Amino acid sequence: MEEYKKALLAPCKPMGLPWWLALIIVVLTYISVNRGTLSTDLAGCFLLMLSIGIVCDQIGNRLPIWNTYVGGGIVMTYIVSAVLFSYNCIPDKYVTAISTLMDDSVKMLVNGTEAKAVGSDFLSFFIIFLITGSIISLDRKLMIKSFIGYIPSIFGGLIGAAVFGVLGGLLFGVTPAMILIKYVLPVMGGGNGAGAVPLSQIYESVTGDNAANYYSFAIAILTIANVFAIISGALLKKLGEAKPDLTGGDGAKARLMREGHFDADDSKLAKPSLGDYGGAILLACAFYALGRLFAKAILPEIGGAPIHQFAYVILFVALAALTGIIPDNIRNAAKTLQSFFTKNLINIIMVGVAVDTNIHDLLAACTFSNVVIAALIVLGCIIGSALIGYLVGFFPIDTAVTAGLCMANRGGSGDLAVLGAADRMSLIPYAQLSSRLGGGIVLVIGSFIFGLLLK
């Protein structure tokens, strides 16, 4: 009770502003949106998304039970934003603007014909700074050990999800084959674009049935599991606070390896100059360009499996960190930028992620059996990844968050929601490995399962 009282009475200073000034900004934003005068450019979108985020963040972090066991302000921002978008509480032009800001492309109608517009893909912009800042601050030897041990942890999560999913299917009369095909594969497949969509195409090529028939069910189950994954992230954070021996810490101190200091010792480094921050921005964007060059042109596939651009970004940043070619001043600036993005822009990401969450579809798919099976799959991936992670020398909670929950969510956007709820945003490189590399593994497994069970 004392903990809830402390949270409820905590000083209200949204993003460092006095509460009354933040309130004036929120009211001004609401009036501007209501009158249609708020711009749909970057400045207007940021203002709208931050105004939604700071209100939800303050409420979610103070609401008893919710702030401890559901995920606090971050999850509140995600759910409230999804409701606002689903029930058309925000004018269409701002919804389109936010979609365009967040994604690399957005569907729109032009003279009655569906067309695609090029988007800004702020989500990728956000992720590349998290990846760069996280990886180049790692100890070299422990980096190698952690990446090698991470693949078995992913398989541990997959096996756990399959076992618990099949057990759930037995409770409701669903065959193990259908559980694997319609539940486990979509949930663990790395999200929507990298998982559910290609899985539906594989399904169509094997069965001859329309891909949409598979996709419509797969995306519903994936969305339910995504919600459970986010809530589970918050619960694991709470477990880590109660059982500190099971975790390497939260926030900027989060780490996987149980032995050694995972973060580089930057305490003796000079404070980055303004020019250093510019160099860190240039470096992160260059790594992203290099990753896209390999993913789109030089080596888009290995053994027939497509390689995502973020997988290449992680690889090249890790190689640069291992060789020591990045100067200490730039390395420290990149780490500071990562902290800045994580602390100040996460609510923008949560609002943007919610644009693609349709509350109506989610509620329609929330039958008792589907909810229970999805929950069991998420529980299985937590237990499986945590167990294998512990055996290879990782902290079980941090492994469960990254190798487990970040396999069972909606890809890159889901990674940010889960890591935000778990307060382990510094583990974004491993989350991306789960969504990208782990998702690719699921596609390969899925092609074999479809061919074996459906032909």
378, 273: one domain? yes
Let me know: does 156 contact 405? Beta carbons within 8 Å: no
423: left (phi over 0), alpha (psi -120 to 50) or beta: left
Q: Alpha carbon 396 to chain centroid distance?
A: 19
Angle in degrees, 0-180, between the axes of helices 346-354 and 122-135, rounded to the nearest 10:
140
SS3 for 279-327 is HHHHHHHHHHHHHHHHHHHHCCEECCEECCHHHHHHHHHHHHHHHCCCC
296, 413: one domain? yes
Q: Which residue, among 53, 45, 62, has the nearest Cα to 4 in the 3D structure?
A: 62
- Residue 265 pLDDT: 46
- Residue 85 pLDDT: 92
Q: Supply the DSSP symbol for 394.
A: B
SS3 state of residue 121: coil
Instruction: Return d(Cα 247, Cα 398) in angstroms, integer.
Output: 6
77, 163: one domain? no
Instruction: Return d(Cα 307, Cα 301) in angstroms, integer.
Output: 6
Let me know: does 384 contact 403? Beta carbons within 8 Å: no
- The first and second tokens of residue 184, run together, are 């486990």
- Residue 7 pLDDT: 56
**CA atoms within a 13 Å half-sphere pointing along the CA-CB vector of 362:** 16
Please identify, among 120, 149, 184, the residue that sits at the C-terminal boundary of a domain. Answer: 120
Q: Where are the beta strands (DSSP E) in 98-220?
A: 105-110, 113-118
Which DSSP string corresponds to 187-209? HTSSSIIIIIHHHHHHHHHHH-S
Please, what is the end-to-end C-alpha distance for the chain in angstroms? 58
- Residue 300 pLDDT: 86
The answer for residues whose C-beta is within 8 angstroms of residue 206's C-beta and 6 or more apart is 447, 450, 451, 454, 455
158, 217: one domain? yes
- Residue 271 pLDDT: 79
- The first and second tokens of residue 149, run together, are 């041990």
- Residue 262 pLDDT: 44
**CA atoms within a 13 Å half-sphere pointing along the CA-CB vector of 416:** 28
327, 430: one domain? yes
SS3 state of residue 63: coil
Instruction: Return d(Cα 4, Cα 62) in angstroms, integer.
Output: 7
205, 243: one domain? yes
Domain count, the chain: 2
Q: Which residues pair with 117 in a beta bridge?
A: 106
Q: Which residue, among 260, 261, 262, 259, has the nearest Cα to 390 in the 3D structure?
A: 259
386, 245: one domain? yes
Instruction: List the domain range (segments joined by +) for residue 145.
Output: 125-454
223, 327: one domain? yes
Please identify, among 120, 148, 164, the residue that sits at the C-terminal boundary of a domain. Answer: 120
- Asked whether the CA dihedral 292, 297, 298, 304 is positive or negative, the reply is positive
Flag whether the pTM goes above 0.95. Answer: no
140, 224: one domain? yes
Distances (CA, A) of 219 to 202, 223, 228, 396: 15, 6, 14, 29
Q: Which residues pair with 114 in a beta bridge?
A: 109
Instruction: Return d(Cα 228, Cα 75) in angstroms, integer.
Output: 11
Q: Which residue, among 375, 381, 416, 308, has the nearest Cα to 153 in the 3D structure?
A: 381
Q: In this structure, how many other beta carbons lie within 10 angstroms of the beta carbon of residue 172?
A: 13
Place of tokens 């105004």: 51
- The first and second tokens of residue 301, run together, are 């596939």
- Residue 108 pLDDT: 53
137, 247: one domain? yes
Instruction: Return d(Cα 424, Cα 412) in angstroms, integer.
Output: 15
Instruction: Return d(Cα 156, Cα 438) in angstroms, integer.
Output: 11
86, 145: one domain? no
> What tens-digit pLDDT sequence spans the chain (455 residues)?
555 556 565 678 888 899 999 999 999 999 999 999 999 999 999 999 999 999 999 998 888 878 766 667 887 898 899 899 999 999 999 999 999 998 776 555 444 555 566 678 888 898 889 888 878 876 677 677 777 888 899 999 999 999 999 999 999 999 999 999 889 998 998 676 567 767 877 777 777 777 767 877 887 888 889 889 999 999 999 999 999 999 988 776 788 888 754 444 444 456 789 999 999 999 999 999 999 999 899 998 876 666 778 878 888 988 898 888 999 899 889 988 988 888 888 889 889 878 877 788 777 778 899 999 999 999 999 999 999 999 998 999 999 999 999 998 877 778 888 998 898 988 888 888 887 778 778 877 887 787 777 75
Alpha helix segments (H runs only) across 9-121? 19-35, 42-62, 72-86, 92-102
Please identify, among 72, 102, 120, the residue that sits at the C-terminal boundary of a domain. Answer: 120
Instruction: Return d(Cα 56, Cα 186) in angstroms, integer.
Output: 30
- Residue 443 pLDDT: 77
338, 444: one domain? yes
